[in-house]
């Protein structure tokens, strides 16, 4: 099964499919987007991305799987001025009426052709009053990660685990989540996919044979210069083949 990984498109998603830009979005079996679809998560931005997902889903045998990120604020009920316990009604309707080949994950999972994918938009606290799905490090965020099912094959979170594709050179700091690292190690999936830290784009191999990918499409200047990552999974052995392209 071929997975195509993207993240942090920040309204620049059409650059991936623009003929003038060379149409950089490969075909495959599943397209996975690990959050930050938009700039600030307003209605116009979100509807634009969802429309694009519907257009590109036909490129993939099984369609699209996506999560939100900290920039996608309308997905987080705390930004809904009418009712802070629910998403806006228009967004709930959009999510509920997505085509069957497009799955939105929010601390939830979907199984596609035997491959179990679990996804979450949550990231460690960083100006959390301004951004979506921020949880304080420690018990608060662990309560989210503790719900990751033990049989997840692919874990998709917006932010990276600690010390894997989470380094910001300009600040000389690693900003990934320790609690997430512990949870991913516990589950021992085939792979973990993230974004969030644009500077961390790329691949690393981890203890237990876990493959880590940061699929940020935009670089640190918010320019869509990073290519989609292509990954092949052997569904019989539940292992990555050597055929992945960054």
Claim: this prediction has a pTM higher than 0.95: yes
Question: For the segment 165-181, what is each residue's pLDDT rounded down to a tens digit?
Answer: 999 999 999 999 999 99
Confidence check: pLDDT of 191 > 70: yes
Look at residue 123 in the predicted model and tell me its pLDDT.
Answer: 98
CATH number at residue 229: 3.60.21.10
Q: At 243, is the pLDDT very low, low, confident or very high (cuts 50, 70, 90)?
A: low
Segment 137-150 mean pLDDT: 98
Name the domain count of the chain: 1
**What letter does residue 83 receive in the DSSP assignment?**
-
Q: At 22, is the pLDDT very low, low, confident or very high (cuts 50, 70, 90)?
A: confident
Segment 82-110 mean pLDDT: 97
Residue-number span of the structural domain to which 19 is assigned: 2-245
Task: List all residues 6 or more positions away from 143 whose beta carbon is below 8 Å from its beta carbon.
Answer: 135
Rounded Cα distance between 190 and 121, Å, is 20
Rounded Cα distance between 169 and 199, Å, is 8
Distance of CA 35 to the CA centre of its chain: 4
Segment 133-154 mean pLDDT: 98
Segment 141-157 mean pLDDT: 98
Average per-residue pLDDT for the chain: 96
Look at residue 128 in the predicted model and tell me its pLDDT.
Answer: 85
């Amino acid at each position: 099964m071929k997975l195509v990984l993207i993240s942090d498109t920040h309204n620049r998603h059409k650059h991936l499919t623009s003929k003038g830009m060379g149409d950089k979005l490969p075909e495959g079996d599943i397209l996975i987007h690990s959050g930050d679809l938009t700039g600030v998560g307003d209605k116009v931005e979100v509807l634009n991305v969802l429309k694009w997902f519907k257009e590109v889903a036909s490129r993939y045998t099984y369609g699209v799987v996506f999560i939100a990120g900290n920039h996608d604020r309308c997905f987080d009920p705390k930004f809904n001025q009418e009712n802070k316990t629910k998403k806006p009604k228009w967004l709930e309707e959009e999510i509920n009426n997505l085509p069957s080949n497009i799955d939105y994950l929010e601390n939830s999972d979907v199984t596609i052709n035997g491959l179990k994918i679990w996804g979450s938009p949550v990231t460690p606290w960083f100006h959390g009053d301004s951004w979506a799905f921020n949880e304080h490090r420690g018990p608060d965020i662990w309560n989210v990660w503790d719900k990751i099912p033990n049989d997840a094959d692919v874990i998709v979170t917006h932010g990276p685990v600690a010390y894997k594709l989470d380094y910001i050179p300009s600040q000389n700091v690693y900003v990934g989540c320790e609690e997430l690292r512990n949870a991913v190690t516990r589950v021992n999936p085939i792979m973990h996919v993230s974004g969030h830290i644009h500077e961390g784009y790329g691949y690393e191999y981890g203890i237990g044979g876990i493959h880590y990918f940061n699929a940020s499409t935009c670089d640190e200047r918010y320019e869509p210069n990073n290519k989609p990552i292509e990954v092949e999974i052997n569904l019989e052995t539940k292992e990555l083949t050597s055929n992945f392209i960054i």
